[in-house]
Structure formats: structure tokens, C-alpha cells
């Protein structure tokens, strides 16, 4: 079935409603990929939506109410999106917390936002929460995604991600329409996500974002830089950052490209070569670092390699100019770019 195209008409939906629409219209298309133990695992829109529904039912089983906050402290993993959209599906609000945050910084964000449930990726993040437990009495449950090292933790305060999904299955058996009722009642004008500011001039604040903000961002970006549903995107910058939220959530749901999650932050550059993404989004310092490493390698290479690199790069610049302006490339440039892609640009 033909993929949905980005349109400002999408602003009448919430993010979970838009995911639901994609699951209905193009459920077999790949929405996400995650690299695990060296293997890229594909997740379709139907599977994506199913996980969101189960997590949302799991939250309801824990007493989560509309307007409550779910904080997420994790690397870039599909479970972040399941949790974020799951909370929003039952009219809750997600809160992104940087995984590099110190315990005191986490305590401040959880107090400031009033988060009542926290998704912590692994033992490291759980231990940070134990360190500040007395400072966050409003946190009723901590959900951990990675069970490694968690076997010795026996505490009703803790639940594994799989336990929450299982609770969700049981809750759905007893209340089959509970989540979709809340999901369909939600308005795009509702606040759905709290995004932390940088905190460079003081303590960070939480910017309130509505569903409509996200969807407008996603569509507007694709007006400037058109993307295709067949494109691949590599998600490797923190999902607590609004830029990564814009790409992995807003642009992904409005444009329909596949979001790819690397195995680890440390392997992101190698995983980038494997997946060959059509789209990347980073602040300038990341591009400068990548460019610098390429230049260093080329400066140490043979003169012939440098000659080929410089000539093919010029072809790439010319082709990019045509693409960015939406103009058809001349036949000669098309052929030259194909050769350059085979020799240099392709991962």
C-alpha cells in the first residue's frame, strides 16, 4: 500500500493517533531497526503500535492517569519510543532525561516535572535512582529495560519492561478498549512531552511541547528538505535532546522513514557504515568531528587516492545542489554521480 505523505492535515492527529494510522494503512512496512548482538532486527509499524498499546495498558495497570509524567533515562533504543508514545496514548506526558545526568541532576528533573514513573534503561541508571530515592517520593515505580545485573534487586518499586508488557496484556484482556478510548479522545493541543533546556545559564527548565508542535516541526522540515518513506535514518544522539525528538519521533511519524538504532553509542560510526542512512541530523560539532577524521585519513593517504577523492567530492556537491533545489540532474551528472557513489559515497 502507498505510504502516507507528510501534510499539515496531519496536525489534526496526536502522535499516537498518527502511529495508529500508519499501523492501519501500512502495517507491514519497516518503522524501526535495532542492532542487537551484531544483527539488525526489523520492527514494522504494526509491531511498533502493538508494543505502544501493551506498554500503555501496562501503565494503566500501574494506576497511571492522564496528565501524569513518565520520565525516560535511556540510550537510543526502541523501548524509549514505546514508552514515550505509550504514555502519550493514555494522555500522559513523557519527560526526556539525559542518560549522562548525575544523580543530583536526575533528582532535580524528576522533582521539577513531577514524574511518577521512570523508565531507566539499565542497572547504572537504576542505581542512580536508588541513590536519590528519598528525594523523589512521588516516583511510584521504576521500570528497567535491560535485566543484566538486576537479578539481585528484589523491590516492589522495580519492574522489568517485560513485566510491564505482561501486565499490559492482562489489562487488555480485562479492559480491551481502555487505551484506544483515551488515545482517540486526546487532542493535538494537549502537552505530550517535556524537553529539557541546556541549563547553560542556570538550572535546566522543561519546555512544554504539544502534539501539534511535533507534527508541525516534522512536516515543515520536510518542506525544506524532502525525504522519502524508503529513506533510512540513524538515531544516535540523545533522545532527551529536542533535535533527536524532532527526527526520531516527529519526522519519522509524519514522513514514514525507518529509524535505525545502533547497538551502542560506541559502535554508532561502524553501524552507520552498515546501514548507509539517507538522513542524519546533528549539531555542527558532530559534523566537524566526522569531517576532521576523514580529512586526517585522506591527508595520510596516497596522492592518487587524494586526487580521486577531491574530484568525486566535487561531483557530489554538484549533485547535492540539484537535489536540494528539486531540479532534475543532467544525464552526464547523473552518470558521474552514480560512478562516484559506487567508488566513494556508498558505505
28 pLDDT tier (thresholds 50, 70, 90): very high
Q: What are φ and ψ of residue 58, in 5° steps?
A: -60, -40
pLDDT at residue 345 in the model = 77
- C-alpha 119 chain-centroid distance: 15
3-state SS, the chain, equals: CCCCCCCHHHHHCCHHHHHHHHHHHHCCCEEEEEEECCEEEEEEHHHHHHHHHHHHHHHHHCCCCCCCEEEEECCCCHHHHHHHHHHHHCCCEEEEECCCCCHHHHHHHHHHHCCCEEEECCHHHHHHHHHCHHHCCCCCEEEECCCCCCCCCCCCCEEEHHHHHHHHHHHHHHCCCHHHHHHHHCCCCCEEEEEECCCCCCCCCEEEEEHHHHHHHHHHHHHHCCCCCCCEEECCCCCCCHHHHHHHHHHHHHHCCEEEECCCHHHHHHHHHHHCCCECCCCHHHHHHHHHHHHHHHHCCCHHHHHHHHHHHHHHHHHHHHHHCCCCCCHHHHHHHHHHHHHHHCC
- Higher confidence at residue 251 or residue 198? 251
**Distance (Å, rounded) from C-alpha 198 to C-alpha 208?**
14
Query: What's the pLDDT tens digit per position in 264-278?
Result: 888 887 888 788 888
The Cα-based distances of 345 to 289, 293, 307, 337 in angstroms read 18, 16, 15, 9
1 pLDDT tier (thresholds 50, 70, 90): low
**Distance (Å, rounded) from C-alpha 262 to C-alpha 250?**
19
**Taking the complete model, does pTM exceed 0.75, yes or no?**
yes
pLDDT at residue 295 in the model = 78
- Domain-by-domain residue ranges, the chain? 8-275, 284-345
Cβ neighbour number for residue 198 with a 10 Å cutoff:
8
Q: Residues 6 or more apart from 305 whose CB is under 8 A from it?
A: 298
Cβ neighbour number for residue 274 with a 10 Å cutoff:
16
Would you say residue 347 has pLDDT above 70?
A: no
Mean pLDDT over 326-332 rounds to: 89
Q: Phi-psi region for residue 249, left (φ > 0), alpha (ψ -120 to 50) or beta?
A: alpha
Query: What's the pLDDT tens digit per position in 32-85?
Result: 999 998 999 999 999 999 999 999 999 999 999 999 999 999 999 999 999 999
The Cα-based distances of 324 to 61, 218, 230 in angstroms read 48, 18, 18
Mean pLDDT of the chain, nearest integer: 93
**Distance (Å, rounded) from C-alpha 258 to C-alpha 32?**
5
88 pLDDT tier (thresholds 50, 70, 90): very high
Query: What's the pLDDT tens digit per position in 235-255?
Result: 999 999 999 999 999 999 999
Architecture of domain 8-275: 3-Layer(aba) Sandwich (3.40)
Amino acid at each position: 500500500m502507498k505510504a502516507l505523505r507528510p501534510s499539515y492535515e496531519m496536525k489534526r492527529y496526536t502522535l499516537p493517533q498518527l502511529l495508529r494510522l500508519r499501523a492501519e494503512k501500512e502495517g507491514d512496512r519497516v518503522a524501526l531497526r535495532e542492532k542487537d548482538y551484531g544483527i539488525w532486527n526489523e520492527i514494522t509499524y504494526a509491531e511498533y503500535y502493538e508494543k505502544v498499546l501493551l506498554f500503555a495498558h501496562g501503565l494503566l495497570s500501574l494506576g497511571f492517569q492522564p496528565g501524569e509524567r513518565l520520565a525516560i533515562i535511556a540510550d537510543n533504543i526502541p523501548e524509549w519510543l514505546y514508552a514515550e508514545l505509550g504514555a502519550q496514548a493514555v494522555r500522559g506526558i513523557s519527560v526526556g532525561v539525559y542518560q549522562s545526568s548525575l544523580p543530583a541532576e536526575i533528582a532535580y528533573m524528576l522533582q521539577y516535572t513531577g514524574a511518577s514513573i521512570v523508565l531507566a534503561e539499565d542497572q547504572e541508571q537504576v542505581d542512580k535512582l536508588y541513590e536519590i530515592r528519598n528525594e523523589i517520593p512521588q516516583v511510584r515505580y521504576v521500570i528497567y529495560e535491560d535485566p543484566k545485573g538486576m537479578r539481585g534487586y528484589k523491590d516492589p518499586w522495580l519492574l522489568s519492561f517485560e513485566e510491564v508488557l505482561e501486565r499490559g496484556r492482562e489489562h487488555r484482556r480485562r479492559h480491551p478498549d481502555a487505551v484506544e478510548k483515551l488515545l482517540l479522545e486526546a487532542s493535538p493541543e494537549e502537552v505530550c512531552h517535556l524537553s529539557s533546556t541546556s541549563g547553560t545559564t542556570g538550572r535546566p527548565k522543561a519546555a512544554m511541547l504539544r502534539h501539534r508542535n511535533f507534527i508541525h516541526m516534522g512536516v515543515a522540515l520536510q518542506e525544506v528538505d524532502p525525504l522519502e518513506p524508503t529513506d533510512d535514518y540513524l538515531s544516535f544522539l540523545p533522545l532527551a535532546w529536542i533535535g533527536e525528538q524532532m527526527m526520531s519521533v516527529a519526522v519519522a511519524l509524519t514522513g514514514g522513514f525507518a529509524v535505525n538504532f545502533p547497538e551502542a553509542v560506541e559502535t554508532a560510526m561502524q553501524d552507520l557504515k552498515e546501514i548507509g542512512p539517507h538522513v542524519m541530523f546533528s549539531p555542527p560539532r558532530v559534523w566537524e568531528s566526522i569531517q576532521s577524521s576523514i580529512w586526517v585519513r585522506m591527508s595520510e593517504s596516497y596522492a592518487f587516492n587524494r586526487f580521486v577523492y577531491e574530484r568525486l567530492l566535487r561531483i557530489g556537491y554538484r549533485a547535492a545542489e540539484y537535489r536540494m533545489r528539486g531540479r532534475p540532474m543532467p544525464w552526464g551528472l547523473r552518470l558521474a554521480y552514480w560512478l562516484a557513489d559506487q567508488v566513494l559515497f556508498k558505505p
